[in-house]
Every structure is written in C-alpha cells, then in structure tokens.
Amino acid sequence: MLETTVLREVWKVAKDVKAFRFERKVEFNAGQFIMLWLPGVGEKPFSLADVDTIVVKRIGPFTSRLFDLEPGNRVWFRGPYGGGFKPRGKKVALIAGGIGIPPLYALAKQTQGRFEKTTLIYGARSADELAPMDVANYVDEVVVTTDDGSAGRRGFPTDVLAERLDEFDQVYACGPEPMLKTVLKITGYRNVQVSAERYMKCGIGVCGSCNLGKWLVCRDGPVFEGPALRDVL
C-alpha cells in the first residue's frame, strides 16, 4: 500500500550523494528496501539506511528530481520489501563498495554490540565519493580504500578481504556486481551474504524484471546466502 511522508532533513553526504530523512519511521531489517514514488516521475527502489533515512546517488532522471526536493516536501513509498541480512558469527566483515554502504550501515547500527568484532572495509573511486556517514560509531574498525589512493589505501575492498579473510567467520557485502563476484570467489561462497541489485518495477515479485538466474531479487533477495549464487554470480 502506498504511504506518504514529509522530508524532515536533506543533506549532502558525498559527491552526488545525499541523505533524505523522513518524518515517518519504517521498521525494517537491514538489507530490506522501499519503493519510493514521485508523482509524474516514477518509482525506484532504495535500501534503507535507518528507520527514517535513505542515502541516494544521483545517476538519472528520478534521482535528479529527488535531489531537487527540500525539507517539507512530500514523497510516497511502499514497503519495506525483501529479505534482509541474517546476523551470524562473532568476527564479521562488512564489505561496501560505493553507494553499497546504506544497507551495511543499517546492519552495523542494528547489530551494534552483538558481534565480538565488526570490521567495515569500505571502498570508492576517490575520497570525495566516500559516504560513510557516522558508521564508525557502530563498528570496531574501519578500513578505507580508494581506486586512486586519495583516501586510505590504494586499491579495492576485496584486496583487503583477500588478505584478512582468516580473521572473519562471516562476511556481508553490498556494492557493484563485479565486487560482489570477487567477494564470492574469495570466500568460496561460504559464510557470506551479499545484497544484489537489479532493475525493479514492482518490488513484490510480480513483473519479473529483477530476475537473477532462477531468483527474483525483490522477492528472494535482495540479500542472498553465498551458496544460492554459486551458479549465478
């Protein structure tokens, strides 16, 4: 059912990235998403970063229109939809690439104190594209990588994961598909959960536009256990 809320806050997080905080709160499990609707523009899925917050990168007409909105403007949404992350293990790694940070931010916040140690390994193309918000408040360690070396270590989050894999008994990942494929290969599809992304129209498993092999991302995901993706990614 379509519901409505008012934007309470809007702020810049990184280059072409903004956070939008709603007046209304949405109870959810980290990894779930909402379908956001703008009249006359369309509807798009966004992972929730918090009960009242989404973090969005401007990449097309819909997000460009969203970026024009200010506090006090009204938006419409449905959800939350999909299945989220399942907290497991004692020493866990959160692997985030680019705008893949929101669901992992939510996971870190919702599971704070549950794990023995939580390490966030977060990468972007350059320093101005990093959008960590205040995630450092909810994890024990943050490792930053950038493609150009402008912040943290030069390279990719998967480089760090490959070197330190033995330290973790569960891995969570969200980011570009090439990164997710590498995460799955490094872990051997074991003890890993990844949040996949596909184009979505309905968000409830009806239209089939978000198919990922035999799975529908909106209905069967967006979070998948590693073994489920062995023949897909």
3-state secondary structure of 9: strand
Mean pLDDT value of segment 186-199? 93
Domain with CATH 2.40.30.10 in the chain: 3-81
User: In terms of C-beta distances under 8 Å and separation of at least 24 residues, what long-range contacts does 85-88 make, across chains too?
Assistant: 85/29, 85/30, 85/31, 85/172, 85/193, 85/195, 85/223, 86/193, 86/223, 87/111, 87/114, 87/115, 88/169, 88/170, 88/191
Q: Is the model's pLDDT at 1 over the cut of 90?
A: no
| pLDDT at 206 exceeding the cut of 90 | no
For residues 179-203, give the mean pLDDT.
92
Q: For residues 153-171, give the mean pLDDT.
A: 98
Give pLDDT, residue 111: 98
Q: Where do you find CATH 3.40.50.80 in the chain?
A: 91-195
Give the 3-state secondary structure of residue 87.
coil
Structure confidence at residue 22 (pLDDT): 98
The Cβ of residue 72 has, within 10 Å, a number of other Cβ atoms equal to 10
- Full-prediction pTM beyond 0.85? yes
pLDDT category at 77 given cuts 50, 70, 90 is very high
CB neighbours (10 Å) of residue 90? 12
CA distance 121 to 141: 8
62 vs 106: CA distance, rounded Å = 24
Under CATH, to which class is 91-195 assigned? alpha beta
116 band by pLDDT with thresholds 50, 70 and 90: very high
pLDDT at 214: 87
Residue 197: band (very low, low, confident or very high) from pLDDT cuts 50, 70, 90: confident
Amino acid at 150: S
> 69: which residues sit within 8 A by CB, 6+ positions away?
7, 10, 20, 75
> Using the 8-state DSSP alphabet, how is residue 70 labeled?
-
Per-residue pLDDT for 193 more than 90?
yes
**What pLDDT sits at residue 201?**
77
Residue 185 has pLDDT above 90, yes or no: yes
Residues of the chain with pLDDT > 90, as a percent, come to 87
Predicted pLDDT of residue 198: 78
Residues above pLDDT 70, as percent of the chain:
100
Residues 6+ apart with CB under 8 A from 123: 96, 97, 98, 144, 145, 146, 147, 155, 156, 157, 175, 179
DSSP designation for 230: T
Cis peptide before 87 (omega within 30 of 0): no
Q: What is the DSSP letter of 108?
A: H
pLDDT for 56 equals 97
Q: Is the pLDDT of residue 157 over 90?
A: yes
Q: How far apart are the first and last CA of the chain?
A: 33
Q: Given this structure, which CATH class describes domain 3-81?
A: mainly beta
pLDDT of the residue at 85: 98
As a whole number of angstroms, the distance between CA 215 and CA 194 comes to: 14
pLDDT in tens, 35-74: 999 999 999 999 999 999 999 999 999 999 999 999 999 9
* DSSP states along 192-225: EEEE-----SSSSSSS-TTEETTEEHHHH-BEEE
Segment among 47-61, 86-100, 195-209 with least mean pLDDT: 195-209
> Are the C-beta atoms of residues 8 and 20 closer than 8 Å to each other?
no
